[in-house]
Amino acid sequence: MNTSAHSEFGKIKSVFIKKVATAFVDDTHVESNWAALNYLGKPIMQIAIDEYATFEKILSDHGAELLYFPQDVTVNMDSVYCRDASIATNKGMIICNMGKAGRANEPAAQQKAFEANGIPVLGMIHAPGTVEGGDVAWLDEHTLAVGHTYRTNENGIAQLAALLAPLNVTVLTVSMPHYKGPSDVFHLMSVLSPVDANLAVVYSPLIPIVFRNELIARGYQLVEVPEEEFDSMGCNVLALAPRVCLMVKGNPKTKAGLEKAGCKVIEYQGAEISVKGGGGPTCLTRPINRY
């Protein structure tokens, strides 16, 4: 069976994660860092550990090979949101350069883990360029949508496009709105989650018209997230396989929309590990290969 890194919706074959106990370390560490990292509230350590154990089991139960980023004293709590520091391609990993200063050490820490697991590195994004993995989404095998945000800049997008051109991949730049400004966690995947080759979950009020029309032109059916479910991460949906969706509990309208579109929806409690830090299931995972 062929595998590809160029997909957001194929069945996950292998995925890196970072356990919350490894990222949050202990209650003292959480107490010292959550406010400076702009969390909505202080995560409760034991509940976070329990939530994460359930999340991890769901991934395992759906056949994913789980690989783990180790504890690293150079990084902080946000390293639990491990999608952001790298991008998987069919020729190896692209090591990002973070737009959030408090996360600057995460790409190098991930690179060490990839190399330790025999996973090649295709290239790196260098300053002044910035790219965060939450700003990129595969629309198909040869098209990568990249949000131009406060975390991913023009220089970084140009570097990314140059790295991907030999792989016959086109980068589609999506100019994102200001929304809540530079301090907010606002990525392309805050408003877009492809869950099959022709199905995506979207929050249209914050999607540029040109890009929304592009999705429709490509044949995507759009599951619209209502305004009241945006902050509760209704738009952050991880495809475990085509139309097999994992999402944070508490978004019943979005769940119903997915089910109407023929999806199986699995939910997890994410108050501590997702909502407070602004990172849903896509953020908590760095898929490497999908079937």
* Domain assignment present for 136: yes
List pLDDT tens digits, range 124-164.
999 999 999 999 999 999 999 999 999 999 999 999 999 99
CATH number at residue 70: 3.75.10.10
DSSP string of 127-181? TT--B-GGGEEEEETTEEEEEESSSS-HHHHHHHHHHHGGGT-EEEEEE---TT-
Q: Which domain holds residue 145?
A: 12-290
Any domain includes 221? yes
Report pLDDT for 280: 97
Specify if 129 maps to a domain.
yes
Q: Is residue 3 part of a domain?
A: no
pLDDT at 184 (0 to 100): 86
Residue 7 lies in a domain: no
Query: Which amino acid is residue 6, in one-letter code?
Result: H
Give residue 178's pLDDT: 97
Residue 6 domain-assigned (yes or no): no
- pLDDT at position 183 is 85
* pLDDT tens digit sequence for 14-62: 999 999 999 999 999 999 999 999 999 999 999 999 999 999 999 999 9
Question: Closest Cα to residue 128, out of 153, 105, 161?
Answer: 153
- pLDDT value of residue 286: 98
5 occurs within a structural domain: no
For residue range 218-248, list pLDDT tens digits in order: 999 999 999 999 999 999 999 999 999 999 9
- The count of domains in the chain is 1
Q: Is the pLDDT of residue 283 over 90?
A: yes
pTM of the model: 0.97
Query: Within a domain: residue 28?
Result: yes
Distance separating alpha carbons of residues 33 and 260, to the nearest angstrom: 41
pLDDT tens across 155-192, in order? 999 999 999 999 999 999 999 999 999 988 899 999 99
